[in-house]
Amino acid sequence: MKISDELVGKHVIEESGDQIGGINYVEWDFKTNTVISIHLKEAEISAKIDLGDKK
């Protein structure tokens, strides 16, 4: 699905601008055409110790 493909791999940023993870998988309900859940992968260590990019 195009929306899933566009979301997977995107960074998740909290309000302060710190990266908290990335979108790993999007679970989709094809009957209702809605997102059921978004699975995140945790940010890498460089992002956790403030060496990652601020957005």
How confident is the model at residue 7, as a pLDDT?
Answer: 87
**Model-level pTM greater than 0.85?**
no
How confident is the model at residue 36, as a pLDDT?
Answer: 92
The rounded distance, in Å, linking the Cα atoms of 55 and 38 is: 21
How confident is the model at residue 27, as a pLDDT?
Answer: 92
Each residue's pLDDT tens digit in the chain (55 positions)? 677 788 898 988 888 888 888 999 999 898 998 989 989 888 665 555 555 555 4
Domain that holds residue 32: 2-48
How confident is the model at residue 6, as a pLDDT?
Answer: 87
Establish if 16 belongs to a structural domain.
Answer: yes
Q: From the CB of residue 22, how many other CB atoms can be counted at a distance below 10 Å?
A: 17
Establish if 36 belongs to a structural domain.
Answer: yes
Establish if 34 belongs to a structural domain.
Answer: yes
Number of structural domains, the chain? 1
What the block records as the tokens of 48 is: 């956790």
Establish if 54 belongs to a structural domain.
Answer: no
